[in-house]
Structure 1
Amino acid sequence: MHDVIRDMALWIACEVEREKETFLVHAGARLTEAPKADQWMGDNRLEMINNDFFQSMSSLKVLDLSVNPLTKLPSGISKLVSLQHLDLSWTQLEELPKELKALVNLKCLNLNGTYHLRTIPRKLISEFSKLRVLRMFYCGDSILFGGNEFLVEEFLCLEVLNVLSIDLRSNSALQNFFSSPTMKHLDTLDISDCEDLEEVKIDIICKVQEIREPHGFEKLRSLSVINCSDMEEIIDISKFGEVQKIMGNLNPFAKVNVFTLQVLPKLKSIHRNALSLPLLQKMNIFECPLLKKLPLDSSRATRNKHEFVIRGDKDWWEELEWEHGATQNVFLPFFRSWR
C-alpha cells in the first residue's frame, strides 16, 4: 500500500472510530486478525519509546514491554488511564516515572528482573489501590534493601493485594510486613534471598480461651521461601508459653495448596505439630538438609490422592524422621524425586 493511501486510511479510521478505538496496526506484518496478546510488544529490542506514542491509547488495558533494553519510560505513559496490566520485567529501566501515578486502574505490575532499577518515587506504589499482583523478584538492590523501607510501608496500603513476590534483606522490614493487615489478603507469598531472616512470625492475640489471628495467613494459597540462609523455623509457637495448649488447633496454613522450601541450609522445622493441611497439593523441598520432619499426619494421605505430591531429593526423603514407621509408607506413593 502506498504511504499516502495508508496514512489517509488511518486518518479516516481514527476520525470514525475515535471513541471505540478498535483498530490495531502492525506495519509490514500482513495481519488479517489481531495477534495473540503475548506477541504484541514483548521482546522487540525496544530501546526507547517516543513521548507521544501512548497519546491515543486511553482504552488500552494490557501493556507488555518485557525483555526489552528500555532504560526509560516516557512521561506520556500517564495517558494509559485504563491500563490494568503492566509488564516491565527484564528491562533495563533505571527509574519509574512519577507519571505512573495516573494508572489508577492498575491491577498487575511486574518488575521482576529489573536489576538496573534504582529509583521508585515515594507514594507511587501506594497509589495503585486496585493492585492485586506485584512482582519484584531480582529488582535493583538499592530498591528493597538499601534503606528504602518506606516501600514496605507502601505495600501495607495495598488492601486488595493477592500476589506478592519480593526479595527483602532487611529483617526489620520483613517483620514489619508480616505483622501488617496486608497479610490477610495475600493469596501468594514468595520470600527469596533474605539472608538474615530466621523465622516467619505471625502476630497472635490471646484473650482467655479465645485465639484470633488479626494478621495471619488466612487466605494464603501458595508459600515459597527460597535462599534464606539463616532461617531455622517457619512457625514457632513455643514462645507463647501458657497459651500453647490453647493453640493446639491453630493451623496457619489451612488453605495453602503449594508449599515450596528451597536452599534453606539451617531450616529445622516448618511447624512443631502435625497440620491437617486439607488443601495441600504440592510440597516442594530442595536443599534443606536439616529438615528432618514434615508437619503431616497420615490422614492427609487418604484424601485427594491424585492431587497430592511431595518433591525432593531421594537421600533427603530416606533420612526423614516419622512419628510412626507406618506413616512413611503411607506417604511413599506421593514422593517424587527431583532427579
Structure 2
Amino acid sequence: MEDEILPILKYSYDNLQREHVKSCFLYCSLFPEDYEIKKEELVDYWICEGFIDAKDGKERAINEGYGIIGTLVRTCLLMEEGWKKTEVKMHDVVREMALWISSDLKDQCIVRAGVGLHAVPEVKNWRAVRRMSLMKNELEKILGCPTCPQLTTLLLQKNHKLVNISGEFFRFMPNLVVLDLSWNSSLTGLPKQISELVSLRYLDLSYTNIERLPVGLQELKQLIHLNLESMKSLESIAGVSKLLSLKTLRLQKSKKALDVNSAKELQLLEHIEVLTIDIFSSLVLEHLLCSQRLAKSIQYVELIEVEEESFKILTFPSMCNIRRIGIWKCGMKEIKVEMRTSSCFSSLSKVFIGQCDGLKELTWLLFAPNLTYLDARFAEQLEDIISEEKAASVTDENASIIIPFQKLECLSLSDLPKLKSIYWSPLSFPRLSELAVQEHCPKLKKLPLNSNSGTAGVELVVKYGENKWLEGVEWEDKATELRFLATCKSLYR
C-alpha cells in the first residue's frame, strides 16, 4: 500500500513550485507522529526560520504562511484538524516521505520526537546537524558540550521531567535560530550561557516554571519572537525592553502582572508588532495606549478584575489589530461605544465574557464585523447581547443598518439568569454552526432565528443543557420550530 502511495505523494511534493514551500512542508516532519501542530505556531516558526520574508510586516508574512498551509492541505500533504481547523498534522505515510526526503538532503536532521527518550541521543557528527527535534520525550537532564556550527533548530518542548540544562550545552551553537523549551513544567531556570546564542530569533519559554529570565537575555540582539505565556512562576520581565529587534511578545497568563512601570518599559520596543497581555488596571491600559505602536501591536488582551464602572472600550481606534478580548471579573456596568470608532474592531474574532455582574448588554459587538466566536457566562445582570435601544443610540441615523454576527461561527451562553434577548429580530447567521444555551438562562425564550437562518451552506445546530429551557422556547413560527427541533442536540448526551 505504502509503495503505491509514496510515488503519488512524492509527485505532489515535487509539484510544489517554490523551494520555500517545500522547506515549510519538510519542517512539519520535525513533530511526532499524529501530532497536531497549531497553525499559528507553525507560521511563527517559518517566519523566524526565514522561509517567509517578513520585511513587509508581520501581518503580510502571517497571511503568506496561512496561504502555504492552504496549499499543503489542498495537495493532501497536510490535514486540517480540530473543530475550528486551527491545527494541522501529517499522515504517517506523508511524514515518512518527508523524513526520507530530508535524509536525502545535505542538511542533516535528527528527529527523535515522541519516542520515549531518557537522554540526548549519541550523534556521530554534531558538526553536520542542521535541525534536531527531541520534543515530547522523557528527558530529565541535558548535558554535554556539543559543537554544532550548523544547528539552526532545536525543539525540546514537552519534556515534562526536564529539570536541568547545562550551560555548556549552548556554548557552540552560533547559528541557532529557533529554540523551543515550552511545556517543560519542571524547568525552573536557564543557564546564563543562553546569551551566547547570538543568532537566536525565536525563543519559547511558555508553560515552564522559570522564575527569572536568564541573565544576559538582552544580548540576544536578533531575537524577534519571545513567548512567555502561562509562566506561573515568572517574577520579572526585566530586560525585555532591551531586545531591540523584538517583534512578537506573548505575556498572557503569566504570573508577572503588567504594572505601569512594565507598560512604560514596553514602550521602548521600537519594532513590536504582536503583543498579548493580561491587564488588571485601566491605568495600565492607558499607558499602553499612549504609544500608537504598542496599541497597534495588541492582538490578544484579557481585562481581569478591572473595577471601573464605565469602560470606553471603543475609544481607542489605534487598537486596530486586536483579535481576541477576554473580560473577566470586572466591575464595569457598561462598555461605552462611540460611532466614530466603529471600524476599530475589524480584526476582532473572539470575545469571552465571564463573571462581569454589572454588565447589562454587549451592544459594542455591533462594531466587530468579523466576530467568529462569542462566549458569555456568569453575568448576573446581562439582559441583552445586542440592545435595540442602545444600538439606536450608537449608530448614525444616516448610516446603513449594521447587521451583526454575519461571520459568527459559535455562540455559547451559560449562567445568565436575566438574559432575555440575543437580538430583537431574526438574523441570517450565514456561518453559525452552533448556538449553545448551556445552563441557567431561564428568561431567554426567544432566539433570533427563523426558517431562513443558517441556510447558506453551514448546518446551524441549537445545543441545550436543560430540557426545561428547550420546552419553553418561543419559536418565530411553526416552520422554524420544526426545522431546529429536528436537529437540536443535548450538550450532555
Shorter chain as denominator, the TM-score bin is: 0.5 to 0.7
Query: Where does residue 140 of structure 1 map in the other structure?
Result: 255
Query: Where does residue 312 of structure 1 map in the other structure?
Result: 464
Structure 1: state its 5+ residue gaps: 1-5, 30-36, 206-211
CA contact (8 A) 2:280 2:303 kept: no
Q: How does 1:184-223 map to 2 (within 5 A)?
A: 184-187=320-323, 189-191=324-326, 193-205=328-340, 213-216=342-345, 218-223=346-351
Q: How does 1:260-299 map to 2 (within 5 A)?
A: 260-290=412-442, 292=444, 293-299=446-452
Whether 2:188 is the aligned partner of 1:71: answer: yes
Query: Where does residue 88 of structure 1 map in the other structure?
Result: 206
Partner SS for 2:326: strand
Whether 2:158 is the aligned partner of 1:42: answer: yes
CA contact (8 A) 2:212 2:236 kept: yes
Aligned-residue sequence identity (percent) comes to 19
CA contact (8 A) 1:62 1:85 kept: yes
> Following TM superposition, by how much is the alpha carbon of 1:233 offset from its aligned partner in structure 2, in angstroms?
2.0
Query: Where does residue 109 of structure 1 map in the other structure?
Result: 227
Query: Where does residue 34 of structure 1 map in the other structure?
Result: none
Letter in 2 for 1:311: K
> Following TM superposition, by how much is the alpha carbon of 1:252 offset from its aligned partner in structure 2, in angstroms?
4.5
Determine the C-alpha separation between the residues in 2 that align with 1:165 and 1:60.
Answer: 28
> Following TM superposition, by how much is the alpha carbon of 1:264 offset from its aligned partner in structure 2, in angstroms?
4.3
Give per-residue Cα distances to partners, 1:45-103, cap 9 Å, x unaligned: 233444555452644435142141333445555537554472512x3344556837856
In 2 relative to 1, CA 44–122 (structure 1 residues): closer, same or farther, beyond 3 Å? closer
In 2 relative to 1, CA 61–242 (structure 1 residues): closer, same or farther, beyond 3 Å? closer
Partner SS for 1:224: strand
In 2 relative to 1, CA 176–310 (structure 1 residues): closer, same or farther, beyond 3 Å? same
Asked which structure has the greater RCO (Cα within 8 Å, sep 6+), the reply is 1
CA contact (8 A) 2:224 2:245 kept: yes
Determine the C-alpha separation between the residues in 2 that align with 1:130 and 1:244.
Answer: 38
Query: Where does residue 159 of structure 1 map in the other structure?
Result: 296
**Which of 317, 330, 333 matches 2:483?**
330
Letter in 1 for 2:428: S
Q: Aligned residue pairs: how many?
A: 304
Query: Where does residue 3 of structure 1 map in the other structure?
Result: none
CA contact (8 A) 1:178 1:202 kept: yes
Whether 2:269 is the aligned partner of 1:150: answer: no
CA contact (8 A) 2:313 2:335 kept: no
> Following TM superposition, by how much is the alpha carbon of 1:176 offset from its aligned partner in structure 2, in angstroms?
5.8
Query: Where does residue 209 of structure 1 map in the other structure?
Result: none
CA contact (8 A) 1:234 1:271 kept: no
CA contact (8 A) 2:155 2:179 kept: no
> Following TM superposition, by how much is the alpha carbon of 1:181 offset from its aligned partner in structure 2, in angstroms?
4.1
Partner SS for 1:327: helix
Determine the C-alpha separation between the residues in 1 that align with 2:322 and 2:283.
Answer: 20
In 2 relative to 1, CA 296–147 (structure 1 residues): closer, same or farther, beyond 3 Å? same
Whether 2:389 is the aligned partner of 1:238: answer: yes
Determine the C-alpha separation between the residues in 2 that align with 1:58 and 1:158.
Answer: 33
CA contact (8 A) 1:88 1:111 kept: yes
Letter in 1 for 2:480: T
State TM-score, norm by structure 2.
0.48
Structure 2: state its 5+ residue gaps: 1-121, 140-152, 259-277, 364-386
Superposed CA RMSD in Å reads 4.5
CA contact (8 A) 2:185 2:209 kept: yes
Give per-residue Cα distances to partners, 1:274-298, cap 9 Å, x unaligned: 4433222333343352561434444
